[in-house]
Chain A
Amino acid sequence: MSTQNTTRPDLNAVLAGFGGQGILFMGKAIAYAGLLDGREVSWLPSYGPEMRGGTANCSVCISDEQICSPLVTAPDALVVMNQPSFEKFVDTVKPGGVVVVESSIISAKVTRDDVTVHYVPATTLAEEHGLKGLANIILMGKLLAATGFATRETMADTIAKIVPAKKAHLIPRNIEAVELGFKY
């Protein structure tokens, strides 16, 4: 799974779900991992009324080159955490892309056969492992495994950096969540 070779793949991801599921935080974590790897990154959230109780989504790009458009309209990776986002974004994924589906919330299946789909019942997994509230991080772990946007070591460093100091005790649980998703 190591991606420590000379040509690291670009990531153009869309993450989407309900407000409150930690979509934007997941996006920041991915972008931060790219930053720690010394790469170019961008994070662009949806904003406005839709954030307040509705759907939230963000675009995240990681590249070794300058990022042109931070708005991802044809993602090579998609993480969806609710049904409306599933319906809205699955068809936008580039052929050959990766889709990570929160399958404890979304019962639908992807009918396309030109993308790789990973169904991860992240909310159920989180509850089973005493990681309530970390479904987003579990899904990020799966995305990490599926795309190799960073190394697991970088991801662990990222978690340590972006978890607020007041919640430092949550760092091990977040790393556990990444690993859980990575290996699922």
Chain B
Amino acid sequence: MRVLMKGNEALAEAAVRAGCRHFFGYPITPQTELAAYMAKRLPKIDGVFLQAESEIAAINMVLGAAAAGARVMTSSSSPGISLKTEGISYIAGSDLPALIINVQRGGPGLGGIQPSQADYWQATKAPGHGDLHILVFAPNSVQEMVDTVQNAFDLADEYRMPAMILADGMLGQMMEPVTLPDEGEIQLPQKPWATNGHGGNRPRNIANSLYIEAAELEHLVRERFARYAEIEQKHVQVEQIGVDDADFVVVAYGATARVCQAAVRAARAKGIKAGLLRPITLWPFPTQAIAEAANHVQAFLTVEMSMGQMVDDVRLAVNGKVPVAFYGRTGGIIPTPQEVLEQIEKIAEGGQA
């Protein structure tokens, strides 16, 4: 059955239905409804909602709950995520699974509260100090956000690493019809590594990210990167609309991809062979799909709600074969389909956007 739900609330309900019973967070716009929903929902199903004293405390409560074996999450928005990066690094360094939601707003600093995609670099390149990656998902609709939640939890568990859903103020605040997954019993994976009391039945478990011996640390990081390589092989998600016969391909993710889809449609109506390539996972990034498209298109246009961050990865994937133009709005401004269409037309005419 389709119901009308706000993105933030749909994320929360999807998490509940994916078996999450522990939420730790701190209030921040524009993700507030997510925490408020959890505060209402979790106590009724023997879950735990805890409003922490800070973003830092919240992510460390997530660390503790994850170490104890729970399917656990937190949510925040850009400035709050910056505060959480310490904890995210420790969670990654301790090989613990957790879900972090970033309903992005404009930055830097306190920035604004309107939608933004200016945390791409943070999420995909440096979600904390050290050599690490986290899974980063960028859904573009309320339904896809719902569908992403369980997958994010499952992959985080499978690979014992943090996962992030990189949403934005528009996706968080908007309402769309969604079909929620059934509210059945979720079979969560066994976590024999959990620090929840050994009961005298097994060797003691330690959740730790400290390795004083350099060689030991290097070995562990390399082992982790071998896991990352497997993820890059197996778990890239990308949507391609009209890319096969396209002369010009727009690359965009999340809410921006929807704007671009309208622009691409309008371009096709005007006889321009445009396509849309939408990364659904930002890490792992769909490098292969872009490289393949680069073999037959004339040019790419990357569109973001930022001054240009993902465009770096698009250019690395294209590797100089064809031009990659960029168009962005920032500070909380959402680009319009008309603006994007103009950029596509400019490129199609042979000029650079």
Contacts and interface: CB of A to CB of B under 8 A. Distances in A.
Within 8 Å by CB, do A and B touch in the complex?
yes
B169 interface: yes
A134 to B, nearest CB: 21
Interface residues of A, number: 20
Nearest to B263: A68
Q: Which of the listed residues A35, A43, A67, A70 has the most CB atoms from chain B within 10 Å of its own CB?
A: A70
Interface string B1-27: 011100000000000000000000000
Contact of A47 (B3, B113, B262): B113
A7 interface: no
A31 B175 contact: yes
B334 A68 contact: no
A100 B167 CA distance: 34
Contact of B174 (A44, A48, A73, A74): A44
B173 A47 contact: yes
B259 interface: yes
A31 B258 CA distance: 19
B170 A48 contact: no
B106 to A, nearest CB: 11
B258 A70 contact: yes
A35 B4 contact: yes
A40 B261 CA distance: 16
Contacts of B262: 68-69
Chain B interface size range: 20 to 34
A41 interface: yes
Question: SS class of chain B's interface: helix, strand, loop or mixed?
Answer: mixed
Question: SS class of chain A's interface: helix, strand, loop or mixed?
Answer: mixed
B242 interface: no
Contacts of A35: 2-4, 177
Interface in B327-353: 334, 336-338
Given A31-B175, A47-B173, A68-B337, A41 B114 contact: no
Contacts, number: 62
A69 B336 contact: yes
A152 interface: no
Contacts of A70: 170, 174, 176, 258
Interface string B128-172: 000000000000000000000000000000000000000001100
B173 A44 contact: yes
B107 to A, nearest CB: 15
17 contacts: A28-B4, A32-B4, A35-B2, A41-B177, A42-B176, A43-B4, A43-B175, A47-B169, A48-B30, A67-B258, A68-B258, A68-B261, A68-B337, A69-B259, A69-B334, A69-B336, A70-B170
Given A42-B175, A67-B258, 15 more contacts: A28-B4, A32-B4, A40-B177, A41-B4, A43-B174, A43-B176, A44-B170, A44-B174, A47-B169, A48-B114, A68-B261, A69-B259, A69-B336, A70-B170, A70-B258
Which are the 10 A-B pairs with shortest beta-carbon distances?
Answer: A68-B262, A43-B175, A44-B174, A69-B259, A48-B113, A68-B261, A73-B336, A68-B258, A70-B174, A42-B176
